[in-house]
Chain A
Amino acid sequence: MNERGTTRISRRRFLKAMGIATGSLGLAAGLGGCAAPPAAPQQPAPAETPARGTVPKTLVLAIQGFAHDAMKPVLAKWEERTGHKVTLESGPVSGNEMITKYAPAFQSGVSPVDVMSDADDSGPSFYRAGWMQPLDEAIPQETWDDFPESFKQQIEVWHSFEGKRYRVPHEFAIGYTFYRKDWFDERKIEPPKTWEEVVAIGKEFTKPPVFGTMEALIKPALAFVYMAYLTSQTGGNLFEFDEATAQAFQFAYDLIHTHKIMPETTLSMDYTQQNEEYMNDHVAFMRQWPFFWDVARGNKNWYQEGKAEITLPPAGPAGAKSWWGGWGFSVPKFAPNKAEALDLIAFITNNENAPILAKGQSWFVMPRKSIMAVMGNEGLAVHMQKYAEANVPAPRPFHPKVAEAQSIVDDMAALYLTKQISLSEAMKQGKERIAALS
C-alpha cells in the first residue's frame, strides 16, 4: 500500500499477471473451440406426477409462427398441470434454416430452446451429431402405437438413429394435387389421372397467363421437392440418378419447355408466389403441401367451394405416388430444462392432445388413430384417408448426408431445367457428386 491507500504493483508482477491472464484466455478459447461440446448434465427422468411444489420454470418451445395459436390450449393444460410456463418462439421454416440457427449453439454445448419442432432435412444430422435427447423412455408406447403401421418404417429411418428414437412426428406432409373443380366441371372433364393426361389437359387450360400446372422451383430445396415427387411416380432412386430419375427430370423439362403447360417463371418462384398464382385464377391444377388447404380457405375474398379441391396425383410409370415427410417434436440434449421438456413433449404428443392440435391447425393433421377417430370425416383428413387407401404415400428418399444429397439433386435439376447442362450431364454429375459424399 502506498501513502494514498492504493496498492502499487511492480512492473514484473503486472506483466506476470497479464501474461497469465492472456495465456489462460488463449488456452480456454483454444480448448473451447477444438474440444467436443461438453456432455449434457445428467438429468432425472421426467416426473410422471404433476410437479407442483417445485420451483416454477419457464420453458421455450420453438415452432413455426402459424402453429402458435393451435399450440396454446394444449400448453395451457400442461402449465395448469405442472405449474411451469411455456414461451412460444417462432422456429425456422425449413430444415436448412434449422441447421443454420441451431447447429452453432448445439456445437457449443448449449440450447436456446427446450422443445423444438424439427424438419426431416435437419433432424438426422442433429441426432447423428449427438445433439438430441433420445425419447424412448419419455414417450409412452401407446403414443407410438397410435401411428399407423405404414409409419413404422419412416419413423425408424427418419426419426431414429442407432435404434433410438429422437423425434415424434407431428406433421404428415404429402404433396396433394389441388385442382379447380369448378373449371373442370364447367368443361365436363375429370382431373388428370396419368402423365399423358397431365399434358393433354394442361394444354387445354393453358392460355397465358393461365397455365395447366405450376410448381415453385426456386433455390434452395424446391426443385428437389418436385424431382422427388416425380421420381416417386417413376419408381426411381433419386440419389442414384438412375434411369427412372432421368425420366422424371425429362418430364419436368417437357412440362416447361416442350409442352409449355408450366411457365418458365416457376424456376424463380417460391410457394407464396405459386399460391398467389393459383388464387389469381392462373392455374388449373398443381402439387402443393397440405398447408395450402387452409391458405386457400382462408382467402375469404377468393375462396368458394370447388376452387381448391384435392384429387389423387397423376400416375407416372410406377403409379400414382407422392412422397411424404414432415416435422416432428424433439428435445435438444442441452435443453436448459431437460426433465420438464421431456415431460412436455410426452404431453403434447399424447393420444389425447394430438387431436386437439389437429383441430387447431391442418399442419398437425396426421393419420394417427386418435386424430382420425375425432376428425376422420371432415376437412383434409378425408383426403388423407383417400390417399392412404389408394396407397399413394411413398417413402421420402433417404441419404445419411441428407442435406448435402438433397442439395445435389436441387443443383442438378436447376441446371438442367434452366438449360445450363444436358440431361446426361446432369445425371453424370449428380452420380459423381453423390459418390463423393461417401
Chain B
Amino acid sequence: MVPSSVSVPTSRVVRFRITQRTRRILLVIVGLLLPAAALRLFTAVYPFLNTIWLSFHDWNPAFPPQRFVGLKNFQALTRDIAVTSSIDFTILFVVLSTVLQIVLGLAIALILNRAFPGRGFVRAVNLIPWAIPMVVAAIGFRWMYDVQYGIINDLLHRLIGVRIPWLVDFWGARAAVIATNTWKSAPFVGLVLLAALQGVPQDLYEAGRVDGTNRISAFFYITLPLIMPQIVTIGLFMVVWQLAAFDLVFVMTGGGPGFATQVLAYRIYQVAFTALNFGYASAISMILFVTVGIASVIGLLLFRKVEVSL
C-alpha cells in the first residue's frame, strides 16, 4: 500500500501531495502516539530539563529563595571529596562488576549449553541469585561478611585460620560489594549469552573440526566472534544499569567505610533527600548523566565494530 502519491513535475521543484486518506492515517498515528509521548514528556523529558535547570541554581527548600549561581555547583563538585571519591568507586564498581559478570556469565553459559542430565533443573537454579531482590541479597551478604557470625569468615577461619573484617577495611568493603553485585547479576548475563550460544551454527564447528581446529581455537575463532555483538550489548546494558546502582550500597555498607563504597547515585540521594540540597544534587546528577552518555557512545561504537553477518 502506498499512502501518498508523488508527482514529479518537469520543473526542478519536487512537490509532495498528501491525499485525504494519508492525512487521516497520519492523524490516527499522531492521535495514538500522543498519550505515550505526553507520558514520556512529563515523566522523563520534563524532569530531565528541570534537573539541568536546577543544576545552575542554589535551591534548598529549607533555605529559600532559589538563586541562579551559574557554574558554582559544578566548581564545588571538583573540590568535594565525597563526590570525587564516589566517581572513583563508581567507575571501579561498574567496570570490574561488568567484566566479572561477563566472564562468569560466559562460563555459566558454556556449561549450560552442554548436554548433561538435569540441565533444565540447573538452568533454573542458576537464575535464583538474579531473582532475589537486591535489598534482600544486600542484607544477607552483610551478615555473611560479619567477622563474628558470618559464614564467609567462618569458612575462612576453618580453612586458613583467619577472619577478615571485610566491611571495615577500605579494599575489603570494595571487594565485598563488587563480589556481591557480580554474584547477583552473572546468572542473568549467563542466560543472555546462553541464548547467543544457541544461535551459533553447528556446521561452523564441524567445518572447523574438518580443518583440525581444537576446542580452544574453536572458542576463540568461532564462538567468541559470533557472540561478540551480544557480549557488547549485554555489557553496555550492565554498564548503564550499574552506573545508577544504589540499593546494594545503601543497604550493605551505607557507602562506608568513609567513602570507600559510595557510588554517585547514593551521593545524589544523600544530597537531595537528606540535605534537601536540590541544586547541588542536580549538578551531581548531570555528572552521572554525562558518564552514562559517554559509556553509551563507547558501547555503540564498539557494537558497530563487532557487528557480524553470517
**Interface 0/1 of A1-27, CB less than 8 Å to B:** 000000000010011001000100110
Q: Which residue of B lies closest to A34 (CB)?
A: B50
Among B41, B82, B147, B277, the residue within 8 A (CB) of A265 is: B147
Among A25, A267, A407, the residue within 8 A (CB) of B257 is: A267
Q: Are A18 and B30 touching (Cβ within 8 A)? A: yes
Residues in B neighbouring A264, C-beta threshold 8 A? 165, 168
Among A14, A403, A418, the residue within 8 A (CB) of B258 is: A418
Residues in A neighbouring B50, C-beta threshold 8 A? 33-34
**Interface 0/1 of B33-69, CB less than 8 Å to A:** 0100010011000100010000000001111100000
Q: Are A129 and B42 touching (Cβ within 8 A)? A: no
Decide yes or no: A26 and B41 within 8 Å by CB, A11-B23, A129-B61, A268-B165 being known contacts.
Answer: yes
CB distance from B248 to the nearest CB of A (A): 14
Among B34, B46, B62, B146, the residue within 8 A (CB) of A29 is: B46
Would you call A157 an interface residue if the criterion is a C-beta within 8 Å of the partner chain's C-beta atoms?
no
Q: Which residue of A lies closest to B261 (CB)?
A: A219
Q: Are B24 and A103 touching (Cβ within 8 A)? A: no
Question: How many inter-chain contacts with C-beta < 8 Å in the A-B complex?
Answer: 118
Residues in A neighbouring B273, C-beta threshold 8 A? 96, 99-100, 103
Would you call B198 an interface residue if the criterion is a C-beta within 8 Å of the partner chain's C-beta atoms?
no
Q: Which residue of B lies closest to A218 (CB)?
A: B254
Provide the bound-state CA to CA distance between A129 and B81, in Å: 28
Would you call A404 an interface residue if the criterion is a C-beta within 8 Å of the partner chain's C-beta atoms?
yes
Decide yes or no: A100 and B168 within 8 Å by CB, A30-B46, A219-B256 being known contacts.
Answer: no
**Interface 0/1 of A23-56, CB less than 8 Å to B:** 0011001100110000000000000000000000
**Prevailing SS type, chain A contact patch:** helix
Q: Are A415 and B34 touching (Cβ within 8 A)? A: no
CB distance from A353 to the nearest CB of B (A): 31
Residues in A neighbouring B253, C-beta threshold 8 A? 219, 268
Would you call B276 an interface residue if the criterion is a C-beta within 8 Å of the partner chain's C-beta atoms?
yes
Provide the bound-state CA to CA distance between A268 and B259, in Å: 13
Q: Are A15 and B27 touching (Cβ within 8 A)? A: yes
CB distance from B174 to the nearest CB of A (A): 12
Residues in A neighbouring B167, C-beta threshold 8 A? 268
Would you call B31 an interface residue if the criterion is a C-beta within 8 Å of the partner chain's C-beta atoms?
yes
Residues in B neighbouring A268, C-beta threshold 8 A? 165, 167-168, 173, 253, 256-257
Q: Which residue of A lies closest to B60 (CB)?
A: A401
Q: Are A403 and B170 touching (Cβ within 8 A)? A: no
Would you call A128 an interface residue if the criterion is a C-beta within 8 Å of the partner chain's C-beta atoms?
yes
Among B24, B31, B42, B148, the residue within 8 A (CB) of A25 is: B42
Q: Which residue of B lies closest to A263 (CB)?
A: B147
Provide the bound-state CA to CA distance between A343 and B216, in Å: 79
**Interface residue range, chain B:** 35 or more
Q: Which residue of A lies closest to B50 (CB)?
A: A33
Decide yes or no: A14 and B274 within 8 Å by CB, A25-B42, A29-B46 being known contacts.
Answer: no
**Interface 0/1 of B261-281, CB less than 8 Å to A:** 000000001100111110000
Q: Which residue of B lies closest to A25 (CB)?
A: B38
Q: Which residue of B lies closest to A29 (CB)?
A: B42
Residues in B neighbouring A22, C-beta threshold 8 A? 34, 38
Q: Are B277 and A404 touching (Cβ within 8 A)? A: yes
Provide the bound-state CA to CA distance between A436 and B108, in Å: 50
**Interface 0/1 of B140-151, CB less than 8 Å to A:** 000000111000
Would you call B260 an interface residue if the criterion is a C-beta within 8 Å of the partner chain's C-beta atoms?
yes
Residues in A neighbouring B270, C-beta threshold 8 A? 220, 407
Would you call B187 an interface residue if the criterion is a C-beta within 8 Å of the partner chain's C-beta atoms?
no
Residues in A neighbouring B269, C-beta threshold 8 A? 100
Residues in A neighbouring B63, C-beta threshold 8 A? 128, 400-401
Provide the bound-state CA to CA distance between A131 and B277, in Å: 16
Q: Which residue of A lies closest to B256 (CB)?
A: A219
Provide the bound-state CA to CA distance between A22 and B42, in Å: 11
Residues in B neighbouring A129, C-beta threshold 8 A? 61-62, 64, 276
CB distance from A16 to the nearest CB of B (A): 12
Q: Which residue of A lies closest to B47 (CB)?
A: A33
CB distance from B51 to the nearest CB of A (A): 11
Would you call A414 an interface residue if the criterion is a C-beta within 8 Å of the partner chain's C-beta atoms?
yes
- A selection of 5 A-B contacts at a CB cut-off of 8 Å is A126-B62, A265-B165, A268-B165, A273-B146, A400-B63
What are the nearest 5 A-B pairs in CB distance? A219-B254, A418-B257, A415-B258, A128-B62, A268-B167
Given contacts A401-B275, A403-B274, A404-B275, 8 further A-B contacts (CB under 8 A): A26-B41, A34-B50, A128-B63, A131-B61, A220-B254, A418-B257, A418-B258, A420-B260
> Which residues of B approach A to under 8 Å, CB–CB?
23-24, 27, 30-31, 34, 38, 41-42, 46, 50, 60-64, 76, 80-82, 146-148, 165, 167-170, 173, 253-260, 269-270, 273-277
> Which residues of A approach B to under 8 Å, CB–CB?
11, 14-15, 18, 22, 25-26, 29-30, 33-34, 95-96, 99-100, 103, 107, 124-126, 128-129, 131, 209, 218-220, 263-265, 267-268, 273, 277, 400-401, 403-404, 407, 411, 414-415, 417-421, 429, 433, 436
